[in-house]
Chain A
Amino acid sequence: MGKAVLKRLALLLGTLLLVSALAFAAFSVIPGDPTGAVLGMEATDEQIAAFRARQGLDLPVWQRYLSWLSAFLAGDFGQSYKYDMTVAQLIAPKVGATLTLAAIAFALILLISLPLGLTAARRPGGLVDRAVTVLTQLTMSVPNFVMGIALMYLFALVLRWFQPEYIPPEQGLWPHLRFMAFPALAVALPKSAMTVKLLRGSILGELGQDYIRTAYSKGNSRGSALRRHVLRNAMIPVVTFLAMAIGDIMAGSIVVEQVFGVPGLGRVLISSINNRDYPVVQAIVVLLAGAVVGCNFLADLLYRVMDPRIDGR
């Protein structure tokens, strides 16, 4: 298994390199010379020359890329075009909110979809199963920001369970988490619907397999057959799906942040795009890409561990 893992690792690094190169090309090369945009019309020649020297704009592209890459890996993400601070200073305080949101969303997905999927699969075609099928179909059709708006309307404005205003963790951890639960729910619900569907289908698929018949012939009850055999095998595609879904969860968080006014990476990304503040966009893109690719890699590892059939294929 070690060889396969190393191969995957190499692939991961290669992809990250490719992504960083593409991002660099997209945001540092294609947009052209940023000097005018940053310094404005009235910049003096010395200011222009100093800026260009500092940004290394006179060097050949590949050198610029390498110097950017080495700085990036050291934690220096460059300087914002718009604000007088480094990209890192701009981003750092926002990362926490986005990570919290994604983490809560992930936990909610597990909490909601696992019991539901199991219950639905216990009696296929039964009342719970059919209700779950209808609900999942409906929920999957709602874009996460629409879900966010709906949740906001229902819980903040109608039921008044929370104020539609962001509460930072400094003002109390519990109020902060209570607030974050709602945007997290908006992200989690559509993904939970998909997970429930997948889990239910996976369980039913396993239940139809021959080895379940063998399990029954040994004296297993339905419950013990589920416990001993089905669950573990049925979870394999679900776990891989969830690990890959982390990318979607992050994308979803970015949109949902706008709905609830959460000051996270999403907000920074949007405003940077609107401001043409490319170094920030570039850094966020590469970071997010790194997270997504990293999670996919972990998903692959997890899959290999869970399914012994995949063995250095």
Chain B
Amino acid sequence: MKFLQAHQTLAQLDTNAEPLPFLLGLSGTPGPLPFFLRAAAAARSVRAEPHLPEFNTLQQLLLSPPAAPFEIFMLLPWDLAAQADWRSGIPSGPVEYDRLLHDARTVIERLEQRPAASYYYLPAPLPPLFRDPPTNVRIESDLLQLVASLQANLLPSAAFSLQNYLSTGHPLASDCIGEVATTMVDGLLAPRVPCKVLVTDLDNVMWHGTIAEDGVDAIQFEPQGLGYRFFIYQTLLAKLQAEGVLLAAASRNDPDVAQLPFATGRMVLRKANFVTIRAGYGAKSTQIRDIAQRLNLGLNSVVFVDDNPIELAEVAKSLPDVHCVPFPDNDAGLPGFLHQLNRLFRRSTNVTDEDRRRTELYRIGMEVPVSQTDGADIIDYLQTLQMRLVIADRTKGDRCRALQLINKTNQFNLNGERLDEPALEDLIAKGGRLYTATLSDRHGSHGEILACLVSAEGTIVAFVMSCRVLQRRVEHAFISWLAAQSEHPLRLSFKRTPRNSPLCTFVSDPAFIPQAGALILDRARFLADHERERTLFALDVDVTTD
């Protein structure tokens, strides 16, 4: 974003735009960075309110607790190793390598204490602190490793201007400020939880050319010439899909024409990599809304990629929760674009079998007409699905999927509490029990879709279910089964979160009675009220009861 465009964008910002206060932590002079941050946010219809630290050194700032809901730190090498600051000149005496690294680690430890911070590291060149050149290279590399441990975003080294830094104290090159500000605002507005669905345009995004005009033989998607950018995009999508991200296509085309390139067998991506390939001439926002609805996923978990600014603007306006990402119109824009997608879909290191099969599992949901999942005839419709629920005791054995469900599910989640492996081990060691449930129906298997952790005292401390099986009454069948397991009252450690409204709807059932900050299940009432739901499932139980 250039200066005048930034100025114009800011001038056009709606006075009622959503405010976004945050602290901008950096050493030295902020220069025009706050202006460009406000402009980059204004381009997303958000009123950025960057607050600057009272003192212009990061070290002083880190001694006080966070005062803003979000923090952005722009780090320079000398924020970690003060002796490397060009403005102080080169130290006359010897610099102790270990001491310098120790100080850097201390700063990193303080930065790690900031819960709502995001970090951007500007790898500026260092002055020659050490006599031997390899040590000067080593310190740059060690500092990079330290900031990597913070999961800092790396800014391009060309964004540093020694001239600006020496003459004004501001470290950014004027030509790069717009780009840096946009990256930072993207980071601020990025979802706190990873996105799940990527809806992509096809023409000039999945391949170079327009399929309806150029024909399947003339479009380019292979690793050569004009096809390279599109080939690389497809390889990232293939990687994301293999790791559990759902791919969908939304294209302005005739449906049969849009599918042709996928049938050539020459592209990285095949039809099977997508939960759906939509083609039509209606608004893209309508297609995206329908895809999200059929997948039972919130619009804020959807990323939309298109090369056409008009389509992007239409979707951004109609569906403000969707993350709209422009496909770059040149190769230079490709790295930033791919890293942005990678950030939006950040994933855990462990890829489970469920992740690998997710496309297949969700495709089943796409086959269910939306009209049939709504309305009063839902139970009649569910009867036709021939659902089978297998409840398993995971107190012993493989708990990987159960833990993943507990830590990734937001909508149908009892309290939003996350659980690491040691905490789970601890609860189980004290007598807790962990259950999961696997659902299948006439369309195929949905996999392990539910997890429930019950403490030794009989309190449900975690209860989560995959959003792709919402509305199927699985929760009713499971709670009915669980309630029948013991004579003791069933207590639920419930907490409302910003995103668990489907769970809240479930526990608004009159059989759940609020009591002392939790919910107590009126077992008899629940079983009586939900007898019909239980008949929807053939129930198999693989549980050893005590």
Same assembly: no
List residues of B whose CB falls within 8 A of some A CB.
none
